[in-house]
Amino acid sequence: MDGSTLETVAKDRPFDPSRVAGTPISRQLVAEVSERLISIEHRQRVRQLPDQERYDRQLAALVCDLAHRYLFHGSAWITVEMSKVELAPAKRRAPFLTEKFRDLITTLAAPEVDLIELNKGYREAFGRKRSTIRAGTWLTRRIDELELTSDDLGCDPALKGDPLLLKSHKNNGKAVALELPKTEEVESLRLEMDEVNLWIAQANLGWIGDELTDGIDLGSRYLVRIFNNASLQFGGRLFHGFWMNLSKQARRDYLLIDDRQIVSLDFAQMGVSVAYAMVGQSAPDGDHYLISGYGPARRTGIKRILNALLSADSTLTRFPAGTRSLFPRSIKFQDVLKAISQRHPALVPLFGSSRALELQYIESQVILRALAILRDKGVVALPVHDCLLVADVHETLGSDAMKKAFTEVVKTECEVEVERSATVSASVDHPSVLS
Instruction: Assess whether 86 and 149 both reside in one domain.
Output: yes
Distance CA 389, CA 206 (A): 13
Total domains in the chain come to: 3
Instruction: Assess whether 413 and 426 both reside in one domain.
Output: yes
pLDDT at 380: 96
Instruction: Assess whether 247 and 370 both reside in one domain.
Output: yes
Phi, psi angle pair for 162, to nearest 5°: -70, 130
Burial class (CB in 10 A: 0-12, 13-18, 19+), 226: buried
pLDDT at 435: 31
Instruction: Assess whether 49 and 139 both reside in one domain.
Output: yes
Whether the per-residue pLDDT at 426 is higher than 80: the answer is no
Instruction: Assess whether 141 and 10 both reside in one domain.
Output: yes
Instruction: Assess whether 220 and 363 both reside in one domain.
Output: yes
Which whole number is the average pLDDT over 343-361?
Answer: 91
- At 250-271, the pLDDT tens digits run 999 999 999 999 999 999 888 8
- In the chain the first and final C-alpha atoms are separated, in Å, by 21
Instruction: Assess whether 117 and 239 both reside in one domain.
Output: no
Instruction: Assess whether 28 and 108 both reside in one domain.
Output: yes
Confidence label for 1 from pLDDT (cuts 50, 70 and 90): low
**Among the listed ranges 119-123, 134-138, 400-404, which one has the minimum average pLDDT value?**
119-123
Instruction: Assess whether 175 and 250 both reside in one domain.
Output: yes
Report which DSSP code applies to 113: T
Is residue 276 within 8 A of residue 346, CB to CB? The reply is yes
Distance CA 190, CA 195 (A): 9
Which whole number is the average pLDDT over 135-149?
Answer: 95
**Element containing residue 381 per DSSP (H, E):** strand 381-384
pLDDT at 125: 67
Instruction: Assess whether 244 and 361 both reside in one domain.
Output: yes
Instruction: Assess whether 269 and 382 both reside in one domain.
Output: yes
Mean of per-residue pLDDT scores for the chain: 89
Buried b (16+ CB within 10 A) or exposed e, 352-390: beebbbbbbbbbbbbbbbbbebbbeeebbbbbbebbbbb
Q: Give 54-58 contacts, CB < 8 A, sequence gap 24+.
A: 54/95, 54/96, 54/98, 54/100, 55/100, 55/104, 57/94, 57/96, 58/96, 58/97, 58/100, 58/101, 58/104
Boundary of a domain, candidates 301, 324, 343: 343
Is residue 383 within 8 A of residue 223, CB to CB? The reply is yes
Boundary of a domain, candidates 116, 132, 161: 161
3-state secondary structure of 284: coil
**Alpha-carbon dihedral sign for residues 298, 304, 305, 306:** positive
Other Cβ atoms less than 10 A from the Cβ of 29: the count is: 25
- At 167-204, the pLDDT tens digits run 999 888 899 999 999 999 999 999 999 999 999 999 99
Confidence label for 408 from pLDDT (cuts 50, 70 and 90): very high
Boundary of a domain, candidates 107, 140, 161: 161
Whether the per-residue pLDDT at 4 is higher than 50: the answer is no
Instruction: Assess whether 273 and 331 both reside in one domain.
Output: no
- At 38-80, the pLDDT tens digits run 887 777 688 889 999 999 999 999 999 999 999 999 999 999 9
| Domain, as residue range, for 70 | 5-161
- Give the predicted TM-score (pTM) of the model: 0.80
